[in-house]
Amino acid sequence: MGWLEDESGLGRCDANHVALTPLSFLARAANVFSNRTALVYRQNRWTYLQMHGRVSQLASALIRAGIQPGDVVATLLPNIPAHAEAHFGVPAAGAILNSINTRLEADTVTYILGHGGAKLILVDTALLSLAEKSISALTTPAPKIIEVPDPEAGFPASGRYPDYDSFLASGDPNAPWILPKDEWESIALNYTSGTTGRPKGVVYHHRGAYLSAPANAIGWRMQLFPVYLTIVPLFHCNGWTHTWMMPMVGGKLVCCRDITARAIYDAIADEGVTHFGGAPIVLNTIINAPDSDRRTFDHVVEVFTAGAPPPAATLAAFEPLGFNVTQVYGLTETYGPAVECLWQSEWDSATGSDRAALKARTGIAMAMMEGAEVHDSQGQPVPHDGEATGEIAMRGNLVMKGYYKNPEATAEAFRGGWFRSGDIAFQHPDGYLKVTDRAKDIIISGGENVSSVEVESALMHHPAVSLCAVVAKPDEKWGEVPCAFVELKTGASATEADLITFARSRLAGFKTPKRVVFCELPKTSTGKIQKFELRAVAKLL
């Protein structure tokens, strides 16, 4: 089936098959767009030819430092040029990039470094203490630290470690890259909190990273030479893979270290930013910006938003400021965006609340994703009636290889030949998905996933706590924040402030409960906590 009667001599060979990799985008851009600006940070600019040379130097330096194909190279970096360069330089050395969430606490970073086995780590000077604390607790060999100072941001080199520029200088700008022989080879390792306390390692392949580029460009109606602002953290699904995408279209990538309304407005006005992505909190930041932070601009900026459905009121206030919003949905396991609320021409006449309601749909599968459906408990598609709910299931080339060192979790996630997201939705008659509930134990705060189990585990270490449950509490600024319900031990006492302070000493700030309610927890006859009742209470707080 699907073969000609005689295909003699029609086999795969070097002339007609090359392993897909996003590295090819930069290699092409260095030739086709050699003098165009590739990368911008503050007053610093690099052309594509210069960026290609720096990436080659980084790859060469890593190899000379002992990094071998298949090794893991980690980062603890904000959205600065070194982080963008690492997205190409690390795989160009045949290694796998592990971009670590800079907002995590030391204990989780220690776990990630140990589990992933990083041999070397690029660390921003401002994050050295986090890296040192994390590495000191390792029971496995420690990664070598390369410090990445940022004097213009107030973080000069500490002098305790080799600095990034010196490390780069040790490499050869003309060194050849180690390209994948098989596009299934791994390119990145990203850790995400699932429904368990410890994060799982999501492995990306070169094929998926390559195909996500045109998928995002098509969904964004992107033409040649866009200007992209890095608001999505590069540690989050590798910045939704947008850094890999930009050389494909000869775009200019503008690095944004600190996400503020002033920085966003300045980048739009001064650099002509045409595209950026961000959680709804970013939209609210722009809406609520004081006049002193605002700048005028004369073009429409295309915005991808994800992490939580943007409220209609947010869309109504945001778009008139000069933005066009497209809601996207995805997970770390799907290279970031995999479903988009693709606008249909027949909706053009919709205005006000009707337009916002259409924009608030979750959407349909993006190009390069073979399927996105809502399945019932038997794994069968639910009716497209706008009512029947089930679990979002996806399959295609934009799905991860699996969870690192966790075949059981991988098998469960891929049960029935689909990736099971754990998120609940229904489908409209036209096939558009609409998320109605998330995986119940996950809280999405400012676009970051928070495992309720992890927060509960931290609180249970307090000597006065007998039992606790953590759920999402709606929050105007962050979308959701953790809210803890606590039963104290008989005769013990603790205040809300006590427990928040205690949790903050063990967790990252965004994971710390913002409210603590003392009460008897509702339970089933078998002792299981009924979190749906607690969610209802949290909505009223």
| 523 has a pLDDT exceeding 90 | no
Q: Round to whole Å and give the CA distance between 489 and 319.
A: 51
Domain assignment present for residue 152? The answer is no
pLDDT score of 526: 43
pLDDT at 308: 64
CB atoms within 10 A of CB 380: 10
Q: Is the pLDDT of residue 530 over 90?
A: no
Per-residue pLDDT at 499 = 96
Q: pTM here?
A: 0.86
Evaluated on CA atoms 385, 387, 391, 397, the torsion sign reads positive
The pLDDT mean for the chain works out to 93
Which candidate, 307, 335, 112, places its Cα nearest to that of 237?
A: 335
Mean pLDDT lowest for which of 142-151, 378-387, 443-452?
A: 443-452
- What single string gives the DSSP state of each residue in 73-129? EEEE--SSHHHHHHHHHHHHTT-EEEE--TTS-HHHHHHHHHHHT-SEEEEEGGGHH
Q: Which residues contact 144 (CB under 8 A, 6 or more apart)?
A: 65, 119, 120, 121
pLDDT exceeds 50 at position 194 = no
Give the alpha-carbon dihedral of 322, 324, 329, 332, to 10 degrees: -50
- Summarised one tens digit per residue, pLDDT across range 445-461 is 888 878 777 888 789 88
Cα angle 206-212-217, degrees, rounded to a multiple of 5: 140
Q: How many domains does the chain divide into?
A: 1
Report which secondary-structure segment, H or E, holds 236.
none
- Lookup: tokens for 412: 């469960």
CATH number at residue 515: 3.30.300.30
What is the distance between the alpha carbons of residues 204 and 87, in angstroms, rounded to a whole number? Answer: 13
Both tokens of residue 190? 């990203």
pLDDT at 438: 62
Query: Does 495 fall in a domain?
Result: yes
Most confident of 134-138, 192-196, 423-427: 134-138
DSSP-derived secondary structure for 249-311: GTPEEEE-SS--HHHHHHHHHHH---EEEE-HHHHHHHHT--GGG----SSPEEEEE-SSPPP
pLDDT tens for each residue of 44-93 = 999 999 999 999 999 999 999 999 999 999 999 999 999 999 999 999 99
Domain of 523 in residue numbering reads as 442-538
Residue 183 has pLDDT above 90, yes or no: yes
* 293 within a domain of the structure (yes/no): no
Nearest Cα residue to 400 out of 530, 238, 520, 268: 238
**CA gap 511, 197 in Å, rounded:** 12
Distance CA 111, CA 101 (A): 12
Give the span between the Cα atoms of 139 and 74, in whole angstroms.
17
Q: 302 has which bridge partners?
A: 275, 324
How confident is the model over 319-373, as pLDDT tens digits? Answer: 999 999 999 999 999 999 999 999 999 999 998 878 888 888 899 999 999 999 9
- Tell me the per-residue pLDDT of 412-425, one tens digit each, with 9 for 90 and over: 999 999 999 988 88
Angle, vertex CA 476, rays to CA 444 and CA 341, nearest 5: 60
Residue 221 domain flag: no
Q: How many CB atoms lie within 10 A of CB 19?
A: 17
Q: Mean pLDDT, to the nearest integer, of 469-486?
A: 92
pLDDT at 525 over 50: no
> 390 versus 207: which is more confidently predicted?
207
Rg from Cα positions in the chain: 24
**Would you place residue 411 in the very low, low, confident or very high pLDDT band (cuts 50, 70, 90)?**
very high
Residue 401 lies in a domain: no
332: enclosing H helix or E strand: none
Distance from C-alpha of 527 to C-alpha of 250, rounded to nearest angstrom? 58
What are the helix and strand counts (H, E) for the chain? Answer: 17, 25
Give tens-digit pLDDT for 102-115. Answer: 988 999 999 999 99
Is residue 174 classed exposed, middle or buried when 0-12, 13-18 and 19+ CB atoms within 10 A define those classes?
exposed
- Examine residue 145 and state whether it is found in any structural domain, yes or no: no
Query: Mean per-residue pLDDT for 28-37?
Result: 98
- Domain presence at residue 155: no
Q: Give kind and range of the element (H or E) at residue 415.
A: none
Write out pLDDT tens, residues 210-241: 999 999 999 999 999 999 999 999 999 999 99
With a pLDDT cut of 70, the percent of the chain lying above it is: 96
Instruction: Give which of 398, 280, 268, 429 is closest to 336, Cα–Cα.
Output: 398
Burial class (CB in 10 A: 0-12, 13-18, 19+), 382: middle
pLDDT tier for residue 20 given thresholds of 50, 70 and 90: very high
Rounded mean pLDDT, 248-276: 97
Q: Is residue 474 part of a domain?
A: yes
Q: 19 pLDDT exceeds 70?
A: yes
